Amino acid sequence: MARKPTVYDVAAHAGVSIATVSRVLTRPSDVRASTQERVLAAVRELSYVPSGSARGLAARRTGVLGLFLPGVDAVEDLSDPEVSDTGTVEVRRDPARPDHGTTANLYFEEVLRGCELEAWRQGFSLMICVGRGRSPESVELTLNDLAGKVDGLAVIAQSAPHDVLKRIGETIPVVYLAGQRRGDHFDHLTVRNREGMRALTEHLIDDHGIRDPVYLTGPFDSPDDAERYAGFADALEGRGINPTALPVLHGEFSRERARAVAEDLIARGSLPRALVCANDQMALGVLDALRPAGVRVPEDVIVTGFDGIDEAARSEPRLTTVMQPMLELGRAAVRAMVARVTDPDLEPVSTELPVTVLLRESCEGPLG
């Protein structure tokens, strides 16, 4: 077997320093285009493949950042799927199903995309781990394994035990997505959940005369949902309405669960004039239930969400929502990790990104 070319060979072949080769391969935007072309030509001619382990040993870094997501899919069967091949292509009708797409969670997809974009821009790779279907003990083992392979770790609040993250944070930077800092020393990134939900609820009260909206809540341990409900309550109290006198329904941030809740309300004849949902997935689930039942939105029931996922702009009717900058949230998480990798002694920061209330047909009726 022929000797593998090294970074020294590439540098000599291109007539540049080893540091320049490293910059071209990790942060090409920092290098002139002519130099990039020379180095890449040498890489191709020598068939050079960078050694991640060697680079990590030299720099005492892996060049990889980690992202730990909660178990967002309700997967019951983790066994290998059975796939049969008859040698022919099956052609069959695919009837519309009311639960089509209910497991999608586009919030996490957008945050992930932001992390990927910024990691690439910063010259890092991104390693993603999902805690789906894992016990607390398994989550801890997974986090330990992930932490040993990355230079920094971003986690969604409440997706992992705080004491485990505190221990991991003693060796690598940990960045929390969602949730305010509560006596820890991590960087925290969130959006203005409380202010956004308050502004939306004030619109329902002031412009639509809704004084008894029903709130459809997410998981009990979600810091985002806690902030959004606080904003909902702020708006009611500011208009002389007691929020504790109004029912709170549990949708668990799930489209399927929210559809079942709405179907129960329809069956009992107790639909409210407005359903304020803590995320778009639940609001879309409510629309899934109302449409086949002949309930008109917004004429009979106003429905609102929170997040601003793309599907909310394509629903029928289009969903009024509070749009948060999900892509920028992911990018900001990576910037925070890279900053702390570069300077571990930085003071921890808490950053709130802005939100925007988007009024659409599920609240306003036909819009011009």
**Which distant-in-sequence residues (6+ apart) come within 8 Å of 321 by Cβ?**
280, 283, 304, 305, 306, 307, 308, 312, 357, 358, 360
**Which distant-in-sequence residues (6+ apart) come within 8 Å of 233 by Cβ?**
243
pLDDT at 326 over 60: yes
The C-alpha atoms of residue 202 and residue 192 are separated, in whole angstroms, by 15
Which whole-number Å values give the CA distances from 99 to 95, 103, 139, 275, 290, in the listed order? Answer: 12, 9, 29, 20, 13
Q: Which two tokens stand for residue 291?
A: 């449409």
- Measure the CA dihedral 135/137/142/147, to 10°: 140
Per DSSP, the three-state class of 264 is helix
Give the model confidence (pLDDT) of 54-108 as tens digits: 555 445 678 899 999 876 544 444 455 566 667 778 777 667 555 444 445 688 8
pLDDT (average), residues 337-351: 91
Neighbours of 43 (CB within 10 A): 21
Comparing C-alpha atoms, which of 162, 156, 144 is closest to residue 72?
A: 156
The C-alpha atoms of residue 56 and residue 63 are separated, in whole angstroms, by 7
Q: Is the dihedral of CA 286, 360, 207, 231 positive or negative?
A: positive
Q: 356 has which bridge partners?
A: 323
Can you give the pLDDT at residue 92? Answer: 72
Can you give the pLDDT at residue 76? Answer: 43
pLDDT (average), residues 175-196: 87
Neighbours of 356 (CB within 10 A): 13
Strand 302-304 and strand 248-250: the pairing is unpaired
Chain position carrying tokens 């009708």:
93
pLDDT (average), residues 20-49: 85
Q: For residues 360 and 287, is the Cβ–Cβ distance under 8 A?
A: no
List the alpha helices (DSSP H) in 209-276.
223-238, 255-268
pLDDT at 29 over 80: no
Per DSSP, the three-state class of 336 is helix
pLDDT at 179 over 70: yes
**Which distant-in-sequence residues (6+ apart) come within 8 Å of 78 by Cβ?**
133
pLDDT (average), residues 249-260: 95
pLDDT (average), residues 191-200: 97
The C-alpha atoms of residue 367 and residue 312 are separated, in whole angstroms, by 15
Vertex 113: Cα angle to 108 and 119 (nearest 5): 125
Return the top range by mean pLDDT from 146-155, 254-263, 340-349.
254-263
Comparing C-alpha atoms, which of 352, 358, 367, 364 is closest to residue 177?
A: 352
Give the model confidence (pLDDT) of 208-233 as tens digits: 999 999 999 999 888 999 999 999 99
Comparing C-alpha atoms, which of 49, 356, 8 is closest to residue 203?
A: 356
pTM here? Answer: 0.80
Q: For residues 359 and 140, is the Cβ–Cβ distance under 8 A?
A: no
Give the model confidence (pLDDT) of 263-319 as tens digits: 999 999 999 999 999 999 999 999 999 999 999 999 999 999 999 999 999 999 999
Burial of 257 (0-12, 13-18, 19+ CB in 10 A): buried
